[in-house]
Structure 1
Amino acid sequence: MSLWTEPETAAQTGGRIVIEPADADEVADHCVLLRHLVRDEPSLVRGPLDRTRQHWIGAGPHELMPSRRPTLARERFTTPRGVSVPPSTKPFHLGLYTCTAQRNGPGMWRMYLDQGSNLHPRPWHTWELQVADPAAAVLEITGASEWAAFVGRYPLVHGGAVFPDWDKVAQDYAGVHVTLRAILATQGFRFPVKDGLTAPPYWDIESVLWLRWSFSSIRLVEVTPPSAS
């Protein structure tokens, strides 16, 4: 996956790789690592979303994001309705992202932070969100075929590529869950749909983009202090 998602490789090959969704899913199904993971954490690999283990992690302010706060507040939640944001396969100016905590450890977002990132300085505040709204319909995307069908159903054509129209998605779903199998099958690839070729997605980790506030309660479960100087 990392071979084809490198910008230098894409430039040398004339652009992002175009592949049929079914072929990408077939390759993903031969991944030995996913076969092991699905035995222990099936919801992360293939869904459905485990609504009882959703975590959001807030990081400290950064010079590029000085107003960032490590706490959750419903009044700061931005829905896609009427919001003008650049077309994106994974927008960062609206909604809220959570990931699923493992039964015996942290979720993938925390594991990513543990590798080190200057963009997300400590302290890290980990919040557990209870998804209790029975009407909170979550779209499960578990592979390339479902990703292509999703973009084809909610197309937004821009700059010669087809993106999801998140405003229209929010009219039907409270959230979109992208699983590990889907990430493996789609990361950096383009797929043919009715309106053209999809823009290459980069979700990186299993996560949910919540397009509506669907939580009955939030609870602080961990604070990771600043690193010692």
Structure 2
Amino acid sequence: MTDVSLMSGPRGRQFCLGVLTATRPEIWTLAARAAEHSGNQGFASELAEALRSPASVTAAASAGGEALLAGLAEAVDTARYWQQPDETDALLAQPAIQLALGPVARALAGALAAWWSRGFLDRDRQNFVQWTDERKGPPPDLGGTVRRLADWKAAVLADERQAAKRPKNPAANWGGWWWSTPTPSGLLTTTRSLPDLGAIGLLLVEDSLGWKQATVWPLVPRTDCRVYEIDGPAAWTELAARYPLDVSLSKRHDWWRTTGIAGPWLVPDWSAVAADYDGVHLTLWGYLTTAGLALPASPSAGPSVSVRERTVLAGWNPDETYWLNDVLTSGAAPSNWLSDGSGRWSRQR
């Protein structure tokens, strides 16, 4: 775990608030009122007092897996990279609120480290989630990754060329491919399983379409596979700088709305990353401290560079690994899962 604070990014701050609202419902009431009435400093002050209280710090320090998962789900569910920050994100960005939430964030950093092992360790617990609300699909295709990456890059370059015809004003009402992942490529992704949960990917999904049925396929990566860890902002920006792909035109409108910055923008060229790594894994800590931030990522950055390219980690779910080469084999038998609509998943017998 890096020295970056949970307070450094919008998803980390939402996580902190989400854990507290799961354990102290009165915090939710105070936060909702302060967010709705953003001009009322009295409401914000009342929230700040509740956040810095010993009861809140104690709740954070003693948070177990259920509360931490609730906070993670809140952080993921409220992620938006194609619009301006919502009222709660804006509230949590206020200096006074951040200061009050600081002790909670420090306590939660310890609780998270104790509950969740760092890095890509559970090679024998990797699972692919296949959504089956409309129909059951075939087993995951474990080959053809090179072709999928080539198709992805061709589509990105075509979109960038087409984007040259779009309005130059970043505030124009225009949207496009806002994610920075190799989507929609059809690449396989996996997340690890938890006790009583077939895969954390069932629960933590950015921009979810509300799926309620899924098949979970255990997959086993090769023992010698090379996995790059995104465990914080520095690891993400290094990846974008080492393997730069210019997407300034296609991301111009969406990422301006979510960050207030007009670019230029880079994402990693995943087809180039594949030459050095078989997979790229986003840790929980990496997600909470990196997602949604406009981060400098210039390949040639130096003291004399006045305008630097930036990058945004967007559309990547916590603990998710994107597989860039054919290094997966089938594991145990798949299992079917059903959601009750409130975030609880149960295995079907």
Distance 1:70 1:38 in 2: 37
Structure 1 pair 121/105, CA: closer, same or farther in 2 (3 Å)? closer
Residue in structure 2 matched with residue 209 of structure 1 by the alignment: 322
Structure 1 pair 118/187, CA: closer, same or farther in 2 (3 Å)? closer
Residue in structure 1 matched with residue 276 of structure 2 by the alignment: 172
1:56 Cα offset (Å): 0.8
Structure 1 pair 199/99, CA: closer, same or farther in 2 (3 Å)? same
1:47 Cα offset (Å): 0.5
Question: Match of 2:128, as an amino acid?
Answer: W
Q: Tell whether the 8 Å contact from 1:179 to 1:207 is kept in structure 2 after alignment.
A: yes
1:151 Cα offset (Å): 1.0
Q: Secondary structure at the match of 2:156?
A: coil
Aligned length: 200
1:120 lines up with 2:217 in the alignment: no
Residue in structure 1 matched with residue 261 of structure 2 by the alignment: none
Distance 1:222 1:36 in 2: 30
Q: Which has the higher strand share?
A: 1
Structure 1 pair 222/5, CA: closer, same or farther in 2 (3 Å)? closer
Instruction: Say which one has the larger Rg.
Output: 2
Distance 1:61 1:86 in 2: 29
1:159-178 CA-to-partner distances (Å, cap 9, x unmatched) read 23111100100111100011
- Aligned residues with identical type, % of pairs: 23
Greater relative contact order (CA < 8 Å, ≥ 6 in sequence): 1
Distance 1:104 1:56 in 2: 16
Question: Match of 1:8, as an amino acid?
Answer: Q
Distance 1:147 1:76 in 2: 26
Unmatched 5+ stretches in structure 2: 1-9, 15-77, 87-92, 94-101, 158-178, 249-263, 300-308, 341-349
Structure 1 pair 174/61, CA: closer, same or farther in 2 (3 Å)? same
Residue in structure 1 matched with residue 240 of structure 2 by the alignment: 151
Q: Which has the higher helix share?
A: 2
Q: Tell whether the 8 Å contact from 1:80 to 1:166 is kept in structure 2 after alignment.
A: no
Q: Secondary structure at the match of 1:148?
A: helix
Q: Tell whether the 8 Å contact from 1:61 to 1:69 is kept in structure 2 after alignment.
A: no
Question: Match of 1:192, as an amino acid?
Answer: P
Unmatched 5+ stretches in structure 1: 11-16, 18-26
Distance 2:79 2:328 in 1: 34
1:149 Cα offset (Å): 1.0
Residue in structure 1 matched with residue 229 of structure 2 by the alignment: 140
Residue in structure 1 matched with residue 19 of structure 2 by the alignment: none
Q: Tell whether the 8 Å contact from 1:156 to 1:164 is kept in structure 2 after alignment.
A: yes
Q: 2:332 aligns with which of 208, 212, 219?
A: 219
Question: Match of 2:137, as an amino acid?
Answer: R
Distance 1:141 1:110 in 2: 21
Q: Tell whether the 8 Å contact from 1:90 to 1:203 is kept in structure 2 after alignment.
A: yes
Q: 1:53 aligns with which of 125, 141, 150?
A: 125
Residue in structure 1 matched with residue 256 of structure 2 by the alignment: none
Distance 2:144 2:131 in 1: 16
Q: Secondary structure at the match of 2:85?
A: helix
Q: Secondary structure at the match of 1:52?
A: helix
Q: Tell whether the 8 Å contact from 1:79 to 1:212 is kept in structure 2 after alignment.
A: no
1:8 lines up with 2:8 in the alignment: no
Distance 1:202 1:125 in 2: 21
RMSD: 3.2
Distance 1:79 1:91 in 2: 13
Q: Tell whether the 8 Å contact from 1:186 to 1:201 is kept in structure 2 after alignment.
A: no
Distance 1:175 1:193 in 2: 21
Structure 1 pair 103/226, CA: closer, same or farther in 2 (3 Å)? closer
1:40-94 CA-to-partner distances (Å, cap 9, x unmatched) read 321xxx31332111011111265xxx8x825312256565543223275212214
Structure 1 pair 32/213, CA: closer, same or farther in 2 (3 Å)? farther
Q: Tell whether the 8 Å contact from 2:232 to 2:290 is kept in structure 1 after alignment.
A: yes
Structure 1 pair 48/226, CA: closer, same or farther in 2 (3 Å)? closer
Q: Tell whether the 8 Å contact from 1:99 to 1:107 is kept in structure 2 after alignment.
A: yes
